[in-house]
Amino acid sequence: MTKWSKKWAKILENQVKEVKISNRLSESPSCLVADENEMGGNMERIMKSLGQDVPDTKPILEINPKHPLVKKLKTKISQDVVKVLFDQAVLSEGGQLKEPAEFVKRMNKLIK
């Protein structure tokens, strides 16, 4: 774990189990993966839709260090940007944001 990925993990400590550097991502800046002993986000959603009890788990955020956005963020780590990347990873895997209004607020702040 690098110095900046530790900062990302600290910012997202309530949302992720850990932040890892990924060598397998090529197009996207980040993605969410389940720990090998836990079910993934899609399976959790399926189980919940069937009325099954699903234990609360935190995903692992994988970061693509070669992505231009991540390269830019290594020098200037902003809590808003890190959270936006996490939310994008949630949306990319088909999940729903717990606080969509906060996502929009952060996006609007970054666009300004």
Q: What is the mean pLDDT of residues 8-27?
A: 90
Angle at 100 between CA 75 and CA 56, to 5 degrees: 90
Q: What is the mean pLDDT of residues 58-65?
A: 90
Structural domain 3-111, CATH architecture = Up-down Bundle (1.20)
Domain map of the chain by residue range? 3-111
- Give the global pTM: 0.78
Tell me what pLDDT residue 111 has. Answer: 79
Q: How confident is the model at residue 104 (pLDDT cuts 50, 70, 90)?
A: very high
Q: What is the mean pLDDT of residues 51-77?
A: 83
Q: How confident is the model at residue 1 (pLDDT cuts 50, 70, 90)?
A: low
